[in-house]
Structure 1
Amino acid sequence: MERIVTEFPATRIQVLGDMLRDAAAKYADQDYILCDGEWLSYGQVDDQSDRLAASLQSLGVRKGDRVAIMLPNCDEYVFAIFAIAKIGAIQVPINTYLKGEFLRHQMAESGAAVVLVDVLGARQIASVADMLPDLRVAIGLDDCDAIKGALIGTELDIHSYETCVASASAPMAVELAGHDLCVILYTSGTTGPSKGCMISHGYYTWIPEILRRAGWHEGADTLMTATPLFHTNAQIWVLASALSCGGRAIIEPVFHASTFIDRAGELGATVIRIMGSMVNMILAQSPKESDKSHGIRLATCVPTTPETWKLFFERFAIPINSEVYGQTECNPATITPAGIDLTPGGAGKVAPHVELKILDEGDNEVVTGEVGEIVVRPLLPNVMFSGYWNNPDATAKAWRNLWHHTGDYGRLDEEGTLFFADRKSDSLRRRGENISSTELEEALLQHASIAAAAVHGVPSPVGEDDIKACVVLTGGSKITPEELFEFFKGALPYYAVPRYVEVMDEFPKSVVNRVQKFKLRERGITDSTWDFEAMGLVIGRDERRR
């Protein structure tokens, strides 16, 4: 099967902290990061992360301890990523919009001992703190008094970030190798709560190398995104990719569709990395004379369509490359190099560090062109995930017969190009976030009037999914749209709030009493379906973390 590259380096840096130290030695005064303030040089990021690393050690954090980050995009988030890596602790990025059981599960299961928070994050942590036996320290980013007020009643040891980094001391050296864990990144579950995907230093630092080989970035590039740092797109595909080749990285605090391209031009971005829904939002803005006034050479965007490629290029003169397939566990597994003609509907060819096959339900390889489950395994050490944190059963199930089973369906053509077909797993994707149907249904059942819940995706006008929740009420119960929406706002991350709700007497079920979701999907949006958006029941941007 044809691959994009065949050669491998004899040696490579496999530890994130060493990557930064080496880059700082070469490019000390060169701009590296622009996030929520001024440009920061490689030397400044190295120095500031050293200060925080030493402070974490003084608070008792040791190799293997978990440190959670629940912050919006900001300079301090960047420093924390490298500080945690330098001392061999394990970063746990927490989606800033999590609340309730979604938040408790990830914090408790990871066993995070320390969390970095702002005021809004502190309020959410306070609501579940009594169910987090391992959490002992909170480091407050902004108004420490306000954070102490938010966490009043908890037994957490609270420290100011500013005080933590005031010391100029260097951290104690920690011996690390490529197999040591760098990050636990939670990804949507399929048959239960979200699972903690274990990412080693080797895997973390290998992803930028594969993207570089494919021409998705190079040393002269300035990479830009407006996705959150708690995702791999911003943290690895932009931040670490720029680091890997001495480039620059722009991490916007917030995405604004109306100004994103103009701002990218003003800041000198040459590569933009955005999500499919963002492309649609940008194209929905009114055309401007400045649309082609930029220096952007490439947009990488997943997922998107050939029609969108054409519209985007005609309007902005920016080619899109969306031919890549991967997931947190194996990222990327296939890819098309920059400058190569794209295959409509294709997801690229197999990357050089993995094997990929298409299997049937019995784990037998299907014939070329037939649809089956996509499975992947590594050809090199430390280039895929290391299993699921604290979940050996899920790890064994995913890795059965020595292949990682992705839970996705696809097919390979005669040329070895992968075509994605469908998700096998019962999960959703909305606003760039993966959502576990099971986890969402369990959260809905916390409402006293809901006896049963089943959720599924419906097509969204901006791409990805909108969510429909079908619910069966407890005997004699009644509920209004307004009451249910208020419950959603308090119990769910904003992106997981269903747009549509239908109250039903019962669900269609199989002979073994399982809900037949395919029938609910076929049912679609009915005359009795509530559309919260049409009712004006929406969550404003300033309400998302409250």
Structure 2
Amino acid sequence: MDYLNQIKPTDCFAHRLLETRALENPNDTFFTFEGESYTFAQCNQTANRLARNLLQAGIQAGTYVAVLMETSVEYLHLWMALSKLGAVSVPINTAYRGDILTHVLKTCQATVCVMDECFVGIVEEASAGFESFAQVYVRAPEGRALSAGAKHFETLYSPNDDSNLVVAQRHDDTAVIIFTSGTTGPSKGVILSHHYLTAYGLMYAEINGLKDDDVVMNFLPFFHIAAKFMTIGTLVSRGRMLLQKRLSISTFWQEVKAHRVTNFIGVGGICNMLISRPETADDSKTTIRTIYAVPDPADIHAELERRFGCQITTVFGSTEAGLPLFRGVGDAYRPKSCGRVSPYYEVQIVDADDNPVPVGTTGEIVVRPKRPFLTGSGYIGMPERTITAWRNLWLHTGDSGHMDEDGWFYFDDRVSDSIRRRGENISSFEVEVLVNKHPAVSEAVAVATPSEIGEDEVLVQVILREGHTLRPEDLLKHCCEQMPYFMVPRFIGIVNDFPRTATAKVEKYRIRAASRSAQIWDREEQGWKVTREGLFDPQGQAVGSFSAPCHGSALAAPSQKMAELVRD
């Protein structure tokens, strides 16, 4: 289906797709979450009521709203309500804490914060020392006492007009700010217009050939662009969505069978994890039609398609660049290729001076759209980084690749120092900054090293301050105190110096090449375990914890510091 060309650019709004479905298919199921199904009409009416209550609370077009919430029905309602208002949603990674969260909160320009109760403590800590929010809403159990200044999120669901709210806004207005990995500096907030965000979902539906009988399994968090474009793809195709808080490999196929899932994203090592389970006679009888695998695992591609009776689609894209390269439904398979050029983009491989390189030569992948607003609109609060990334009228992806004589593109490596672990982009710069906070560390380097299940693991090498000693286990504990769980390094090396150039620059490629030497400590080999909940020693004892999860645990008690988050 040619979805993108069927919708006028000026009509590209996520909430308008919802309104159209609610008008045309009001009683059809839009999504299912934790056993409950919700129709297009129910979702649209609730979002309208929520939007009007937000408006009466002073949240309007142009208001920036930071959101720290686990995947939930309320999160989806809130996203659609903010879109209807013309407010700017700033979804924040719920694993962020400390300095990283402080940077995001300072940069995003949000004056309103909506959060689950279990994130109150980390937001208080991260926001200390800068201007507080005008309003704070906390999703907590009914009747739970909150500190002065905070309001219950549920009050925004109070009765109100549930007809479509009409607010004047343009398709090129900012809809969402999504923070992605900073590769040579702090994380960057990518500015996404309504048109770009919506078009991303339309392109996803096209690449996967989604239709009205498709069921999309969406287990990615809403602070990732993927969860949003899968939702939009469901809306435009008139399909259904199975919304989940997270993926469970152990129950994956039961969920597929129960809900007749036809499409999901094989991000990170998911494909490897699925193929590693014992094969059964029923594997090829599933309802799965397409697996959107990023990257497409060439070593198991044929086995995946044979075993599960499906087709694998793939792309090269990013939060900033859209989906400029793809291999969609019906396209031929070219091993290890990420696809050919989308009809909506131009793509080149260029050298360090932005000159195109010959076929087969590796260079940086640069992108520009053939129609307006098909890439991000820059980085919030970072004009210099925006100019650098979009220089010479091309968006520079920071990734290197090459093209063959038939026009197929291949991803070769990262020009920058980004690390991708199990679907999360990790800034080596941010890892290094946080490791360097340990009083025994003089200098730190973080690099990617291949993971057995696909993508990368994080490796850190450190030089100690003179007169200091440090065990890898103690540095691991420090990292768990400072970082989100997914950023914590698996491999730690304590060295006398790094390989360097004649000008003393660290030669990271040499560290990567020698990453599994005998001097490198492997926490998994040593029996240490890092989960979302915390750090566990080889005896299984908890020795550190991350921010309290919102699922399956008691919610945090009201904090006395909440009043400080809200401006008078």
TM superposition score normalised by structure 2: 0.90
Who is 2:309 aligned against? 317
Alignment partner, residue 563 of structure 2: none
Q: Is the 8 A contact 1:6 1:352 kept in 2?
A: no
Alignment match of 2:266 (pick from 262, 268, 274): 274
Whether 2:341 is the aligned partner of 1:350: answer yes
* Contact 1:360–1:366 under 8 Å retained in 2: yes
Q: Which one of the candidate residues 167, 175, 183 is aligned to 1:174?
A: 167
Relative to structure 2, which stretch is displaced further, 195-204 or 241-250?
241-250
Instruction: Report the secondary structure of 1:39's partner residue.
Output: strand
Give, in whole Å, the separation in 2 of the partners of 1:527 and 1:145: 56
- Asked if the contact 1:269/1:295 (under 8 Å) is kept, the reply is yes
Q: Which runs of 5+ in 2 are unaligned?
A: 535-545, 549-568
1:130 to 1:413, Cα distance in 2 relative to 1, 3 A: same
Question: Is the CA contact (8 Å cut-off) linking 2:3 and 2:203 kept in structure 1?
Answer: no
| Number of the residue aligned with 1:225 | 218
1:200 corresponding residue in structure 2: 193
**Which residue does the alignment assign to 2:251?**
259
Pairing 1:33-432 to 2, within 5 Å after superposition: 33-143=31-141, 148=146, 157-170=149-162, 173-236=166-229, 238-322=230-314, 324-432=315-423
Q: Which moved more, 1:449-458 or 1:206-215?
A: 206-215
Deviations along 1:394-433, one digit per CA (max 9) or x if unpaired, are 1110111111111111112222211111110111000210
Distance 1:256 1:67 in 2: 30
Q: What is the CA distance between 1:41 and its match in structure 2?
A: 0.6
1:144 Cα offset (Å): 6.4
- Answer whether contact 1:107 1:132 (CA < 8 A) is retained: no
Cα RMSD (Å):
2.1
Residue 41 of structure 1 aligns with an amino acid whose one-letter code is T
In 2, the alpha carbon distance for the partners of 1:497 and 1:228 equals 19
Instruction: Kindly indicate whether the alpha-carbon contact (under 8 Å) linking 2:311 and 2:329 is maintained by their aligned counterparts in 1.
Output: no
Tell me if structure 1 keeps the 8 A contact 2:434–2:479.
no
**Alpha-carbon spacing, 1:519–1:113, altered in 2? closer, same or farther (3 Å):** same
Query: Residue 24 of structure 1 corresponds to which residue in structure 2?
Result: 22
Contact 2:268/2:421 (8 A) holds in 1 = no
Sort the Cα spacing of 1:158 and 1:272 in 2 relative to 1 into closer, same or farther, 3 A.
same
Give the distance between the partners of 2:129 and 2:267, measured in 1 at CA.
35
Unaligned 5+ segments in structure 1 are: none
Name 1:536's counterpart in structure 2.
527
- Which residue identity does 1:509 align to in structure 2? R
Cα distance change of structure 1 residues 466 and 7 upon mapping to structure 2, 3 Å threshold: closer
Give 1:262 deviation, angstroms: 2.5
Tell me, in whole angstroms, the C-alpha distance in 2 between the residues paired with 1:56 and 1:512: 56
Q: Distance in 1 between matches of 2:499 and 2:308?
A: 48
Could you report, residue by residue, the CA deviation over 1:332-390 in whole angstroms, capped at 9, with x for unpaired residues? Answer: 01112202221101111111111111111111111222211111111111111111111
> How far, CA to CA, are the matches of 2:291 and 2:260 in structure 1?
14
Preserved CA contact (<8 Å) 2:85 2:167: yes
| Residue deviations 1:31-54 (CA, integer Å, cap 9, x gap) | 001223411110111112122212
**More deviation, 218-227/341-350:** 218-227
State the alpha-carbon separation in 2 of the partners of residues 112 and 81 from structure 1.
15
2:31 alignment partner, SS class: strand
With over 3 angstroms needed to count, the CA separation of the structure-2 counterparts of 1:99 and 1:7, relative to structure 1, is closer
Report the alpha carbon displacement of residue 542 of structure 1 after superposing the two structures with TM.
3.4
Residue 524 of structure 1, CA deviation = 1.4
Aligned partners of 1:101 and 1:221: how far apart in 2?
Answer: 42
Aligned to 2:557: none
**Once the two structures are superposed, what CA deviation does each residue of 1:239-267 show, in whole Å capped at 9, x if it has no partner?**
11001121111121121112212211211
Cα gap change, 1:418 to 1:146, in 2 (>3 Å):
farther
Pairing partner for 2:8 from 7, 11, 14: 11
Comparing 212-221 with 90-99, greater Cα deviation is found at 212-221
| Inter-partner Cα distance in structure 2 for 1:536 and 1:340 | 44
Amino acid at match of 1:319: Q
1:79 and 1:190, CA in 2 relative to 1: closer, same or farther beyond 3 A? same
Distance 1:6 1:467 in 2: 39
Using the alignment, how far apart are the partners of 1:6 and 1:204 within structure 2?
14
Report how far residue 215 of structure 1 moved: 4.2
> Residue 283 of structure 2 aligns to which amino acid in structure 1?
D
Write the letter of the residue equivalent to 1:109: T
Looking at structure 2, the residues matched to 252 and 363 of structure 1 have their Cα atoms a distance apart, in angstroms, of 43
For residue 176 of structure 1, report the CA deviation from its aligned partner: 1.2
- Provide TM-score, normalisation by structure 1: 0.93
Question: Which consecutive segments of 4 or more residues in structure 1 shift more than 6 A?
Answer: 4-7, 144-147
Relative to structure 1, the CA distance from residue 278 to residue 10 in structure 2 (aligned partners, 3 Å threshold; closer, same or farther) is: closer
Change (3 A) 1:7 1:229: closer
Contact 2:21 2:40 (C-alpha < 8 Å) held by counterparts = yes
